[in-house]
Structure 1
Amino acid sequence: MTGLQTRLELADVRAAADRIAAQVRRTPLLALDALPGLLLKAEHLQHSGSFKVRGAANAMAGAGAGEIVTGSSGNHGIAVARNGRALGVPVTVVMAAGASADKERVIRSLGAQVVRVDGGVAERERQALAHARRTGALLVPSSDHELVVAGQGTVGLEIFEEAPEVDTVFVPTGGGGLLAGICLAARAARHPVRIIGVEPAGANRYARSLAAGRPVSVPPSTTVADGLRGQRPGAVPFPIVQERVDALVDVTDQAIVRAMRLLHRAGVPAEPSGSVALAGALSWAGRPLRGGRVAVVVSGGNTPGALAAGPGGRPPEGPARPTRG
């Protein structure tokens, strides 16, 4: 054990759901003819184009900050910039050198300042923290924050409310806020639920950390899943994941691209990071899944084409159909 502890409970996720209800979409679960037995939690249809708006809204609600700063590979920065504009609060987003130029452009279009730094995610986070200490700005991390984790957990609450028979959930895993939040939300399920985190093979910091029994760092990654390039588990999500997750699997960039293409052909315009959980579910094929229904979180749809049109706000296309479980 690491000695790290968290005060977060299911009640915090429920409180976040109430707090952010007017600011987020309750996204549908989609069934695809091409993927029988799988339900897709369609966070690519979320405001700002990804689930990140949930945690950002929860952390920023009622904060009363005069300025906000965050470090982001893109989607969290878009969410914070969008919320900051609505609140009339200036936002600074620190991005690593390899982050998406398309996402930077959208962040700037929302009125936020962008600061580029050399190095990977770890350096980005150091610079965001330094900015907060220097200016007094409120730091809203992309995952390592209790209110952010609770907000991301509302994804899981909606899954278990919409399809209570789901007994396995595949979750894309970067900083771990979404995975930790869904681990908390799983306490609301009516029966045991298997939670499986999916990481890019070159950025599997959670699998390595769980094996070591403590948070460890990995080198900067160039995985195609640009939103999942974190280098070290956060102090808030790690103990939750350590206590509750059932398995962690890693997937190659080739598997991520295959999953993304499958989603696109089925009318779900996911970005690479948003396709990682499906890649994990497909790689899990043949292993026992308790014979029940499986949910896969499609965490984002901010592809270059979607960003050119403005993130989020598009209806599902093609043969994807909502399900009521």
Structure 2
Amino acid sequence: MTRADVRPGLLAATRLGTGDVLAAARRIRGHVLRTPLLALDSVPGVLLKAEHAQRGGSFKIRGAANALLAGPGGGVVTGSSGNHGIAVATLGRALGVPVTVVMAEGASPAKAAALRALGATVLHAPGGVDERDRRAREHAERTGSLLVPSSDHELVVAGQGTVGLEVFEDVPGVDAVFVPTGGGGLLAGVCLAARDLPVRVVGVEPADARRYALSLAEGAPVAVPPPRTIADGLRGQRPGRVTLPVIAGRVDDLVGVTDDAIAHAAALLRRAGVHAEPSGAVALAGALESGFTGTAAVVVSGGNTAEALASTGLAVPPQHTTHLTTEGDRP
């Protein structure tokens, strides 16, 4: 799917702009790392944006910091497959804010254990990402906690956009940027940062989770069944209300990649000394599958493998699991 395929019905007005990304960069300075761009010798022309080396092990700390630092304080709740929850819990511990994370079925046990080690309360919801996020909203309403979604939130999107801001500052002439796309917060943020730049923005989705490509082709939001991809951080089922119009108005292409392609990209990264989780290898898989000319920045979005979490001492065996039921989710 290319930008020319986007139907006008999705090009709704959005309040977000590049100024929001610049404001986020100022707000989160000192709370996040400015990650480097690394050359990948085995693929000439590729520069890896090393968000696997970010605080909390992924780019998610950027959006989480922007939302928490701008928020009213008090307890925080979120729905997460792991990395966003780890980011929120990392900040919550530093700020003295209690954090509750709702996880869906099939979420990484190592990431759940890491969340508990960071002091977060972990709740498990039956079903997929849609059900997880619904339970997180209900928990926030019932407890009065601040809800910080993993992607579909203006402050989160602006914070994630600082990834693109750094890329475009460090390599002003970059020809393309490949962005892993799950909930869409990172892609939307990069689209904001690239709004007035002559750079090609390409979102990369797992083949069985192409809700953005399908939505842009249909001209309306399209939901998909719970995906089974190995890229556990990209298993969202529907595009976001905040993210979809931003992406529709700026993305140049959306490509899909199979689990085999993701595993191949992860192996290439591993041989180069970059230990990315499957979700973190998706953008490279997209660059390899679709091809590119010139210089391409590829966002390695996360490195929270079970081995990486164990090396930090966070992936400890869980003591207990709290499951949400239809009667409520109070632990």
Give the Å deviation of 1:280.
0.3
* Structure 1 residue aligned with 2:208: 202
CA contact under 8 A between 1:97 and 1:119: conserved in structure 2? yes
SS of residue matched to 1:250: strand
Deviation string 1:213-234 (CA, Å, 9 cap, x unpaired) is 1111000011000000000011
Go from structure 1 to structure 2 and tell me whether the alpha carbon gap of 1:293 and 1:3 turns closer, same or farther (over 3 Å shift).
Answer: closer
Tell me which residue corresponds to 2:199: 193
Residue 272 of structure 1, aligned match among 245, 255, 278: 278
Q: Which amino acid aligns with 2:312?
A: G
C-alpha displacement at 1:188, in angstroms? Answer: 5.6
Which of the residues 220, 236, 239 maps onto 1:230?
236
Aligned counterparts of 1:215 and 1:113: Cα–Cα separation in 2 = 32
1:87 alignment counterpart: 95
Q: Which amino acid aligns with 1:307?
A: L
The one-character-per-residue Cα deviations of 1:67-94 (angstroms, maximum 9, x if unpaired) are 1000000000000001111111110000
Per-residue deviation, 1:17: 0.4
Structure 2 contact 60–87 (Cα < 8 Å) conserved:
yes
Q: Retained in 2: the 8 A contact 1:198–1:280?
A: yes
Give, as a single letter, the amino acid of the residue that structure 1 aligns with 2:212.
Y
Work out whether residues 153 and 185 of structure 1, in 8 Å CA contact, stay in contact via their aligned partners in 2.
yes
Give, in angstroms, the shift of residue 187 of structure 1. 2.9
Amino acid at match of 1:162: D
Q: Matched residue of 2:194: which SS?
A: helix
Count of residue pairs brought into register by the alignment: 306
Asked whether the equivalents of residues 48 and 297 of structure 2 are also in contact (C-alpha less than 8 Å), the reply is yes
1:44 has 2:52 as partner = yes
Matched, 1:160 2:173: no
Are positions 1:134 and 2:142 aligned together? yes
Number of the residue aligned with 1:108: 116
CA distance in 2 between counterparts of 1:99 and 1:156 reads 28
What corresponds to 1:322 in structure 2? none
Which of 90, 104, 108 matches 1:96?
104
Give 3-state SS (helix, strand or coil) of 1:114's partner. strand
TM superposition shift of 1:65? 2.3
Provide the residue aligned with 2:38 in structure 1: 30
How far 1:261 moved relative to its partner? Answer: 0.5
| Amino acid of the structure 2 residue aligned with 1:174 | G
Structure 1: gaps of 5 or more residues? 313-325
The answer to whether 1:20 aligns with 2:22 is no
In structure 2, what is the Cα distance between the partners aligned to 1:134 and 1:62?
Answer: 22
User: How far off its partner does 1:274 sit?
Assistant: 0.1
- Which position in structure 2 is the counterpart of 1:320? none
Question: Offset at 1:64?
Answer: 2.7
Please give the alpha-carbon distance, in whole angstroms, between the structure 2 residues aligned to 1:52 and 1:20. 12
Secondary structure at the aligned position of 1:94 is classed as strand
**Whole-Å separation in 2 of the counterparts to 1:83 and 1:62:** 13
TM-score, with length taken from structure 1:
0.92
Secondary structure of residue in 1 paired with 2:30: coil
Match of 2:306 among 298, 304, 307: 304
Question: Which residue of 1 is the match for residue 218 of structure 2?
Answer: 212
> Which amino acid counterpart does residue 304 of structure 2 have in structure 1?
N
Unaligned runs of 5+ residues in structure 2 are: 1-8, 315-331
Instruction: Provide the residue aligned with 2:318 in structure 1.
Output: none
Whether 2:296 is the aligned partner of 1:294: answer: yes
8 A contact 1:179–1:241 mirrored in 2: yes
Structure 1 runs of 4+ with >4 Å offset: none
SS of 1:202's partner is coil
